[in-house]
Structure 1
């Protein structure tokens, strides 16, 4: 039996804050058992939110400076978290914040320097999980499916509704996973136009009306019918879904309503296209799982033969941070933490850099 106590750090594309999850992982009788022990979501200051949101446009020198400053910032958050809760930690496992993701050009970059994080936190740090897979010809994403396989095997499908919706499932011979569509990165900016950081319970979307033309335009990009492996970056989102929403003359409420239909429809299409069964049990996590109207659309387009499970709020909010902590454990053990069947790489691989403090 082996036990690890790890802090997982996640910052998603929706820029709603830094998720910290202090987790225990135990390997016993060929099975992994997890326990989430402490969690916090720390909102970004206006300065950090603006700085991260605009990074794709800055100079190379400013990008490097921000990478290191943000790594130090994460390390300080971790140090404070550890001291506040009096935690015993083996190491930190950090995803960083994605600025560029263009796997076809062999580009993926997450700010949050592991060296500066380790120095500020005074703890060993595992980071940079995507680069090796890109070097091996893969998409570098999604990374969560190995955690879905080893920690959530009781579900047929694991669906995350974050900035981007993505899904993973077990085929007879291997794990399959891919990004489905924009999700909160499409919905949150619309809610912000109405003075809200997000659409609480989907009430704004529920108050709108369905626009068939907008729905058809959102579903038009070839990405949705392309085979996997495939993944969505901010660049694709800006060029397609976000541009379509911006160019529409519909009211903000109608845009939210129609976008929820679009997301639910694409999720159902993905499940049906790649599922070997006509029914199944779906685990929903990520901030979008709290959007009641969106969840209703997923139910609607899937049909009654599928069970949609929204678990306890802690798992909804912190599943990605939990799994990045777990990816760090696998890297620590020098075991595969990235699946070729998911990313398209030449072989399964063990990605991540380790900084010893």
Structure 2
């Protein structure tokens, strides 16, 4: 039975809430609906940055001391506003939606401590939007010893199967953290985080240029990467680990650039993301034939150029070129995951998160 689902995603880059409608039975995608976006205000973004800092010392996953309680209220309200605007703009009735997949805002991801924390009050959201909300997708995976990330691979596989092209295919999502899904036929699905995505670059742009990100990679295009610094950064033990593996946004906070011009700094951090993605190739069963880039990094033309240089002879293309939505793909994925969760289908697998057996997940909050 096909379900109509709305997926909501607020990623580690702290830019805002993506909304997307999808028709799916949790195995295949019948149709993409419209998508939307509700940016965080600068005040909200500042609050979330503060919450990320405070969350480092959280003793347990349901604790919300001080600023985290305030941040959770802000996240919940932003998502409620995002759904209200989306349904109004697209003339969608709440009764037409079977389920909403609500990821929440990750503030701490420490799978080695069996701890992953996404803030956002699903019960309050469900009451506000009058639609059942599935949330807490990662908790069961982490509790069972999995990495709890990445969680989008089952959706990437559904998309890749519709392409009918020879594998292996890798879908790389470049958000705050970059992650890959390796697909080779119906049975081989491997996934992991590869390293920093846009987080270090965005933080650098904010600090040095007072801009949220490097638009189209224009600043990086004028600079020269410090390859020696990149080589040293890639000596961090994480990069040599085989998949599955995952990261917290702050895991690379210790990577400090030496004094350099702004364009060289942007070029270096962009090249680090590309080099970290390329570093995964020897750890995969076979070299991929094609790479499909989604997430905010797909709009960074310098990032795409650097990936092509480092991944040749494989092809590298942006998800939009295939008719996919680079911006909405993760929101669509959480609509897809909500449909899978409703049907009791697995959301994660041993080769995607390291969980011992295929795991379902998600908890439903009803209006």
* Structure-2 separation of matches of 1:266 and 1:20: 29
Aligned to 1:349: 359
Q: Alignment partner of 1:317: what SS?
A: coil
Partner of residue 106 from structure 1, selected from 105, 109, 114: 114
Partner of residue 82 from structure 1, selected from 78, 83, 87: 87
Aligned to 1:4: 3
Aligned to 2:39: 43
Q: Alignment partner of 1:301: what SS?
A: helix
Q: Alignment partner of 1:37: what SS?
A: strand
* Structure-2 separation of matches of 1:50 and 1:285: 26
Aligned to 1:24: 23
Structure 1 residue 178 displacement after superposition = 0.3
Aligned to 2:183: 170
The alpha-carbon distance between structure 1 residues 311 and 227, as it changes in their structure 2 partners (threshold 3 A), is closer
Comparing 12-21 and 74-83, the one that deviates more: 74-83
Aligned to 2:174: 161
Partner of residue 284 from structure 1, selected from 283, 289, 293: 293
Deviations, residues 126-146 of structure 1 (Å, cap 9, x unaligned): 011000001111011110111
Deviations, residues 169-218 of structure 1 (Å, cap 9, x unaligned): 13575411000011110111222222332111211001112323322232
Structure 2 unaligned residues grouped into runs of 5+: 55-63
When the two chains are superposed, the root-mean-square deviation of aligned CA atoms in Å is 1.9
1:296 aligned to 2:301?
A: no
Alignment check: 8 A CA contact 2:75 2:105 kept:
no
* Structure-2 separation of matches of 1:258 and 1:70: 32
Alignment check: 8 A CA contact 2:205 2:212 kept:
yes
Aligned to 1:187: 201
Q: Alignment partner of 1:244: what SS?
A: coil
Structure 1 residue 84 displacement after superposition = 2.7
Structure 1 residue 63 displacement after superposition = 2.1
1:1-357 map, 5 Å: 2-26=1-25, 32-58=28-54, 60-87=65-92, 88-153=96-161, 154=163, 156-170=169-183, 174-192=188-206, 193-239=208-254, 243-245=255-257, 248-276=258-286, 278-304=287-313, 306-312=314-320, 315-357=325-367
Q: Alignment partner of 1:60: what SS?
A: coil
* Structure-2 separation of matches of 1:118 and 1:222: 42
Comparing 94-103 and 169-178, the one that deviates more: 169-178
Structure 1 residue 339 displacement after superposition = 1.4
Alignment check: 8 A CA contact 2:181 2:190 kept:
yes
The alpha-carbon distance between structure 1 residues 211 and 76, as it changes in their structure 2 partners (threshold 3 A), is closer
Structure 1 residue 151 displacement after superposition = 2.8
Deviations, residues 34-56 of structure 1 (Å, cap 9, x unaligned): 42211111110122111111113
Alignment check: 8 A CA contact 1:157 1:283 kept:
yes
Aligned to 2:61: none
Deviations, residues 102-133 of structure 1 (Å, cap 9, x unaligned): 00011100011111111111110001100000
Alignment check: 8 A CA contact 1:76 1:120 kept:
no
Question: TM-score, normalization: structure 1?
Answer: 0.91
Q: Where do 4+ consecutive residues of structure 1 move more than 6 Å?
A: none
Deviations, residues 45-94 of structure 1 (Å, cap 9, x unaligned): 12211111111344724424532452243123212321232213112111
Comparing 81-90 and 111-120, the one that deviates more: 81-90
Alignment check: 8 A CA contact 1:79 1:120 kept:
no
* Structure-1 separation of matches of 2:191 and 2:2: 28
* Structure-2 separation of matches of 1:210 and 1:68: 41
Kindly tell me the number of residue pairs found equivalent between the two proteins. 346
* Structure-2 separation of matches of 1:62 and 1:201: 34
* Structure-1 separation of matches of 2:241 and 2:319: 31
The alpha-carbon distance between structure 1 residues 76 and 42, as it changes in their structure 2 partners (threshold 3 A), is closer
Deviations, residues 324-352 of structure 1 (Å, cap 9, x unaligned): 11000000111111112211112111110
